[in-house]
């Protein structure tokens, strides 16, 4: 059996229709402590009741302004921080009961934005990639590392013995990707993994990610603030605002017509060279409210030009929008039961 076949080995017990990850009501609040006694004085609502599925073989993009909880969601998914509330089901196994965090971590790997900080400066590239497999007791970790270096486009004869500081940012990120793949993961979380790269290098790494996904049968969660990049790589997109999901759906549906006023404003800031593609939506003004004291009801109501009384009073639930059954948005203005309509608001705006 070749290396690739080994990495592809079928651990797909639940079949292709069962989501690889089912995250329900993920919640993480960070205490803020101050003063001599280090008392808790406030709570940051970093992630508040976030639910979503990641389907096998897809790329789920996560977008939203800085501080909306994207990285915290990723860290919860990989078990780097503990959930305050909520459940994670990994291919049908509930985390904590049917599958341990330790076992799940073998199947989920993460690549971070800072390619240099993620690597041990004292280890050569091949030692870095071989480290995980060695700890796991896998056969021939160095051979595996050299094989993976080739897969990420770095000639093992030139790069295996180099140190991280001898590499460019793009090359280091390729090493980080190889290191993640060395653990034969099923899910790879890319948290702003290409955001620090030059545009030309970014494009090369994005293409590499697409190739590796096919070759190793991977599933990606791709976090980025760059909406063009998310469109290129994702199958579905999840939009977060102040720790909550405001919209989720297939790329073509969301990029075609945004359902939530927040998504529409966010997308209006997206550069486009196509004059037919320009949105008339005014861009977002001001910063997001403080996550220590998130607004009541719909958290976007303080910045939303369509907001009515109902928006500050009650939290909107995710409901289907438009023609696509998988396109959901949490906005009172789309809820036929509430008697409101964004279309009406738009006409009078």
**Under a CB-based contact definition with an 8 Å cutoff, are residues 176 and 119 in contact?**
yes
Number of residues that bind Mg ion (CB under 5 A): 1
Q: Whose Cβ is closer to ligand ADP: residue 112's or residue 131's?
A: 112
Q: Which does 115 bind (CB under 5 to 8 A by kind): Mg ion, ligand ADP, none?
A: none
* Residues of span 54-73 touching ligand ADP by CB under 6 A: 64, 66-72
Beta-carbon contacts of residue 5 (< 8 Å; ≥ 6 apart): none
3-state secondary structure (DSSP) of residue 20: coil
3-state secondary structure (DSSP) of residue 51: strand
Does the protein bind Mg ion through residue 72 (CB under 5 A)?
no
Nearest distance from residue 280's CB to Mg ion, in Å?
Answer: 30
Nearest distance from residue 287's CB to ligand ADP, in Å?
Answer: 11
What is the C-alpha end-to-end distance of the chain, expressed in Å? 63
Q: Which of 22, 28, 71, 206 binds Mg ion (CB under 5 A)?
A: 71
Burial annotation 234-262 (CB, 10 A radius, 16+ → b, else e): bbbbbbbbbbbbbbbbbbebbbebbbbbb
DSSP code of residue 2: -
- Element containing residue 34 per DSSP (H, E): strand 21-34
Choose the stretch contacting Mg ion; rule: CB under 5 A; options: 68-76, 95-103, 160-168, 296-304.
Answer: 68-76
Q: Which does 61 bind (CB under 5 to 8 A by kind): Mg ion, ligand ADP, none?
A: none
Q: Which does 44 bind (CB under 5 to 8 A by kind): ligand ADP, Mg ion, none?
A: ligand ADP
* Residues of span 273-292 touching ligand ADP by CB under 6 A: 291
CA distance 34 to 217: 47
The separation between CA 52 and the C-alpha centre of its own chain, rounded to angstroms, equals 11
Q: Which does 25 bind (CB under 5 to 8 A by kind): Mg ion, ligand ADP, none?
A: none
Nearest distance from residue 69's CB to ligand ADP, in Å?
Answer: 4
* Residues of span 15-34 touching ligand ADP by CB under 6 A: 30
Q: Which does 46 bind (CB under 5 to 8 A by kind): Mg ion, ligand ADP, none?
A: ligand ADP
Beta-carbon contacts of residue 173 (< 8 Å; ≥ 6 apart): 111, 115, 193, 194, 197, 205
Does the protein bind Mg ion through residue 258 (CB under 5 A)?
no
Q: Which does 322 bind (CB under 5 to 8 A by kind): Mg ion, ligand ADP, none?
A: none
- Residue that the structure tokens 């073509």 belong to: 252
Q: Which does 259 bind (CB under 5 to 8 A by kind): ligand ADP, Mg ion, none?
A: none
Nearest residue relative to Mg ion (C-beta): 71
Structure tokens at 288: 């997001």
Does the protein bind Mg ion through residue 224 (CB under 5 A)?
no
DSSP code of residue 58: -
DSSP code of residue 221: E
CA distance 8 to 100: 22
Number of residues that bind ligand ADP (CB under 6 A): 12
Nearest distance from residue 340's CB to ligand ADP, in Å?
Answer: 29
Q: Which does 72 bind (CB under 5 to 8 A by kind): ligand ADP, Mg ion, none?
A: ligand ADP
Structure tokens at 227: 């909406």
Does the protein bind ligand ADP through residue 294 (CB under 6 A)?
no
CA distance 125 to 104: 26
The contact mask relative to ligand ADP for 131-160 (x = CB under 6 A, - = no) is ------------------------------
Select from 305, 308, 296 the least CA-distant residue to 339: 308
Residues interacting with Mg ion, by CB under 5 A? 71
Residues interacting with ligand ADP, by CB under 6 A? 30, 44, 46, 64, 66-72, 291
């Amino acid at each position: 059996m070749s290396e690739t076949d080994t990495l592809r080995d079928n651990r797909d017990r639940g079949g292709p229709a069962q989501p690889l990850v089912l995250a329900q009501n993920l919640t993480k609040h960070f205490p803020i402590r101050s003063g001599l006694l280090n008392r808790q004085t406030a709570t940051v609502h970093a992630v508040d009741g976030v639910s979503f599925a990641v389907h096998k073989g897809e790329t789920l993009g996560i977008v939203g302004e800085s501080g909306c909880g994207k990285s915290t969601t990723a860290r919860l998914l990989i078990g780097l921080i503990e959930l305050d509330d909520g459940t994670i089901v990994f291919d049908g196994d509930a985390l904590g009961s049917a599958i341990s965090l330790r076992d799940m971590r073998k199947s989920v790997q993460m690549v971070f934005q800072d390619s240099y900080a993620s690597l041990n400066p004292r280890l050569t590239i091949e030692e870095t990639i071989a480290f995980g497999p060695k700890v796991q007791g896998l056969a021939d970790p160095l051979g595996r590392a050299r094989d993976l270096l080739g897969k990420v486009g770095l000639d093992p004869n030139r790069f295996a013995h180099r140190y991280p500081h001898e590499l460019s940012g793009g090359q280091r990120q390729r090493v980080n990707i190889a290191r993640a793949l060395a653990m034969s993961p099923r899910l790879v979380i890319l948290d702003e993994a290409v955001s620090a790269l030059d545009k030309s290098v970014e494009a090369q790494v994005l293409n590499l990610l697409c190739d590796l996904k096919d070759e190793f049968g991977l599933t990606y969660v791709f976090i980025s603030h760059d909406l063009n990049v998310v469109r290129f790589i994702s199958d579905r997109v999840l939009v977060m605002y102040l720790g909550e999901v405001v919209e989720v759906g297939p790329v073509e549906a969301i990029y075609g017509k945004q359902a939530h006023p927040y998504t529409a404003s966010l997308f209006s800031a997206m550069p486009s060279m196509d004059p037919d593609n320009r949105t008339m939506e005014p861009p977002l003004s001001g910063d997001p409210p403080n996550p220590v004291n998130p607004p009541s009801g719909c958290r976007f109501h303080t910045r939303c030009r369509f907001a009515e009384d109902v928006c500050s009073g009650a939290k909107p639930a995710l409901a289907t929008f438009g023609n696509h059954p998988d396109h959901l948005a949490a906005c009172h203005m789309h809820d036929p039961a509430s008697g409101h309509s964004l279309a009406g608001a738009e006409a009078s705006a």
